[in-house]
A and B are shown apart, each in its own frame.
Chain A
Amino acid sequence: MIDVNLIIEKLPAFFGGTDGAPILSTSEGLQLTLELLFWSLLAGLALSIPLSLMRVSRNKVLSTAVWLYTYVFRGTPLLVQLFIIYYGLSQFDWVRDSWAWQYLREAYACAILAFTLNTAAYTTEIIAGQIRNTNHGEIEAAKAMGMSKWLMMRRIVVPSALRRALPAYSNEVVMMMQSTSVAGLVTLADVTGVARRVFSDTYMPFEPFLTAAGIYLVMTFGFVWLFKKAEGRWLAYLAPRKH
């Protein structure tokens, strides 16, 4: 029932080798998925650290503003956010006239922007939660050492919160990796995009979508394994005693 030959024939397309070209000759498929994921996670994490500090700050205006941002982005589907950026921004003349339009007209930049804002919202809440959970003793010790507020944040609170955020963040990374599949709906040829193209060329649904599913499954296992390792490295001090 499933045509194995078709799977083998189309497999290179998922790794950048369309139409008999050698693999990795284009960035289509897996590479594009990983690129989108890497840039949006990097930018999202960079954004979420200052945002989480604002979220826990005593300044009501700051914390409410960040809360509103995370509330809106966590309460709406990523697809809608992507469409607002990709289709929606063209409604405004001032966006079309700005220097940014050369990027914002491209699906690639729009996808990274949407993914970044989305993952930053979730990550901000994860880190803010862990900052609130910081052990009192750690803060008291830092104060007793005479650290200023910022030094304490930089050396004690944030590193400690980031470590403890690791298990929740690993979930977010896997979720984000799977979410990048919506890029295939705005003309991008990521793993899902390639599968959709093979489907419309051959009209065979099982072969391309099963291949894509297999690739995502392997990536999921890969990330889970990687984060287990990372937790063993950075969270060892919280593990239950073995002896």
Chain B
Amino acid sequence: MFLQGYLPSILEGTLLTVQVAVASLAVSVVLGLIGAMFKMAPSKPLVWLAELYSTVVRGVPDLVWMLLLFFGVQMMINDFCTYMGWPAPEINSFFAGVMTIGFIFGAYMTETFRGAIMAVPKGQMEAGLAYGMSPLRVFCRITFPQMVRFALPSFSNNWLVLVKSTALVSVIGLNDVMYRADTAKSITQEPFTVYAVVGAVFLAITSVSDFALKKLEKRYSSGVRETEL
């Protein structure tokens, strides 16, 4: 039998990996939008804060962030609870993994969204305001639909890097595809086959997302004519 019946277990781990990736993406988009707004805020401290976030996070490897945040935050919570005399809670590793990856990629998304918002002509927003729309409505109806086109290429790239980074979450104890592969590897004694399957799984995820994002890019660029040389 192929991999002594470990294939379903690996595929089950894939599901968790995809869930972690999608949930982290959501967190990173929210953080990225906040970061981009801070970067363009009139208040200097907010700009510095966002600058610090995007520079420091992007200057340190994902793996180091995961180890630092996962073990560090866990200890902080434990210490705090001991100090208060409460029982120490067990942190859900799915939640911890999603928050960590979301935090890291929020920094990359900050840069993506800042560039995209700046690419939308200012007059568009001013016209919206002149019509009496609230700033939030201007963002939802005017800025956002137009910035998507500029943000998508870099967004796609961030997503692909994020998917590949989720391979690291088994380090912090998540029962993901890499964790399952580790078990399957020791039992089947076929490490090459096991990791080749895992590689194929990731390749499938990245290929499908690449295809879908290209379609989306086309859709959001409708009405824009490409320069032909």
Contacts and interface: CB of A to CB of B under 8 A. Distances in A.
A123 interface: no
Contact of B59 (A1, A76, A196, A221): A221
A101 interface: no
A213 B68 contact: yes
Q: Decide if the interface of chain B is mainly helix, strand, loop or mixed.
A: helix
A209 B72 contact: yes
Contact of A80 (B58, B62, B198): B198
A83 B182 CA distance: 10
A221 B60 CA distance: 10
Contacts of B202: 75-77, 80
B220 interface: no
Contact of B168 (A88, A182, A216): A182
Nearest to B189: A91
Q: Decide if the interface of chain A is mainly helix, strand, loop or mixed.
A: helix
A73 B62 CA distance: 19
A26 interface: no
B2 interface: no
A217 B60 contact: yes
A150 interface: no
A43 interface: no
A39 interface: no
A181 B61 contact: yes
A80 B61 contact: no
Interface in B54-89: 56, 58-65, 67-68, 71-72, 74-76
A88 B195 contact: yes
B131 interface: no
Contacts of A79: 167-168, 178
Residues of A in contact with B, size category: 35 or more
A220 interface: yes
Given A75-B207, A185-B171, A205-B75, A80 B195 contact: yes
Interface in B160-213: 160, 164-165, 167-168, 171, 178, 181, 185, 189-196, 198-199, 202-203, 206-207
Nearest to A221: B59
A192 interface: yes
Given A76-B203, A79-B168, A216-B60, 5 more contacts: A77-B167, A77-B168, A84-B199, A210-B68, A220-B60
B225 to A, nearest CB: 21
B95 to A, nearest CB: 18
Contacts of B58: 220
Contacts of B207: 75
Interface string A99-128: 000000000000000000000000000000
Most buried by B among A89, A199, A213: A213
A76 B199 CA distance: 6
A76 B59 CA distance: 22
Given A77-B167, A220-B59, A91 B64 contact: no
Contacts of B60: 178, 213, 216-217, 220
B76 to A, nearest CB: 8
Nearest to B190: A91
A1 B79 CA distance: 10
B192 A84 contact: yes
Contact of A195 (B56, B62, B64): B64
A78 interface: yes
A193 B178 CA distance: 19
